[in-house]
Amino acid sequence: MKRRRSLFSLTFALTVSFGVAACALSHRRPSEPSDAGTVVDAGEEPLDEALPSLAEALCARVEQCAGPWAPIFTGDSCLAYTEATLRDAFGPLWKDAISEGALELHSERFGECLDGVATTSCINLPFAIPTACDAFLQGMRAQGESCRTSQECAGDAYCATGTACPGQCQPRAAVGGSCFPGGCREGLACGFSRTCVPLPMAAQSCGRSAPSGCVSPLLTCVGDTSTTMGTCRPWAEAFSLPAGAICDPVFEDFCRPPSVCALVSGTRNAGEGVWRCEGPYDAGGPCLGAFPNGCPSEQFCDVDPRDEPRGVCRPLPGAGMPCAHSEFAPRHECQPDLACDGVTCRRRVGVGEACDADLMCTTFRCSGEACMPVSCMPNL
């Protein structure tokens, strides 16, 4: 039987990882041609100007790889979330490294970096800044020297932090070598088994009769049936069934947008419901529990537990309101610029502001009831 990814329980384990791609100084869209000849003075100001473009490039690539399922990994506002993470977590570390001589910022190479983000493998996307960005953020630390981010390490090395901070610049592992995310050589990825595997694993065989073993959470098994094996492909390619077709979220058989895989009868327990491609639904109108959300982007299907799967499209809760806990729409709990602390929708806050949970800080570090700066970026 194909390994079930348990869409009903996907969590935000990759939260910090999605704030880690980089790449163009100007505020141009990722689809526009790069201008590698533009020279901007190095220092803090160009880096500050770059951060929104870094976030834009990353979110565009996440959407290309994950398709309609992107909010599962990034939340409903990838851009706002990632901009804040880069500004408050990565930005200060990079600035410190520049002032210490551990990192050099080469503005004229921003275009190459952006191109690297736009074409990076979906396998590597959650975990590391593409090596194409090494010329933009050029590391000066030699192997064996201390570091706080991988960008500080020269050549084909990364910052192995593990549980220690600062970490140490170490060579990236070859095929079969043990690894942490970001710790494999070019053309490899750190698989779920924590060993380096070749990127062609993105097309490996998978199916319902055997564990899929797809290397990355941004890959899923596409094209498999009860009798035919499929291949590991980006999530976006799993959304291909036409309107009216029978779909199955357990086996990751999804619908071509704008249709969604809706539970039309029975319950969402595996094997106990009938799912079909239909929708989308109108704001404020009747809806069915579906994957992904079938209501307008800032609404959710409020399913009545006594009448599952039927519900009504209602606005997502605002700040201070209880989160919209829907088993049909994980990570779709609050208005796009808010986060759910487990109970209430709240705004994420910066360093020095009051907090009571890591998730509420843009640095993901709450200590002593205040958001704290980041000391190291673990293996990124």
pLDDT in tens, 357-371: 888 898 888 998 999
Output the pTM of the full model: 0.74
* Whether the predicted pLDDT of 29 surpasses 70: no
Residue 269 domain-assigned (yes or no): yes
Count how many domains the chain has. Answer: 2
The verdict on 13 and 147 lying in the same domain is yes
pLDDT range class, residue 153, cuts 50, 70, 90: very high
Residue 375 domain-assigned (yes or no): no
Residue 275 φ then ψ, to 5°: -115, 140
- Tell me the residue range of the domain where 113 lies: 7-171
Residue 214 domain-assigned (yes or no): no
Question: Which letter does DSSP use for residue 372 in this model?
Answer: -
The verdict on 167 and 297 lying in the same domain is no
- The β-bridge partners of 146 are 168
Q: How far is CA 297 from the centre of its chain?
A: 18
What's the pLDDT at 36?
36
Domain final residue, candidates 137, 171, 205: 171
Beta strand 254-255 with 239-241: parallel, antiparallel or unpaired?
A: parallel
The verdict on 256 and 148 lying in the same domain is no
What's the pLDDT at 314?
93
Q: Where does 30-172 show beta strands of DSSP type E?
A: 103-105, 137-139, 146-147, 157-160, 167-171
The verdict on 294 and 162 lying in the same domain is no
Residue 373 domain-assigned (yes or no): no
Q: How far is CA 152 from the centre of its chain?
A: 23
The verdict on 254 and 156 lying in the same domain is no
Residue 295 domain-assigned (yes or no): yes
Q: How far is CA 9 from the centre of its chain?
A: 16
Residue 216 domain-assigned (yes or no): no
The verdict on 49 and 131 lying in the same domain is yes
Residue 309 domain-assigned (yes or no): yes
The verdict on 248 and 162 lying in the same domain is no
Structure tokens at 76: 């409903």
The amino acid present at 160, given as its one-letter code, is A
The verdict on 150 and 249 lying in the same domain is no
| Tally of CB atoms within 10 A around 37 | 7
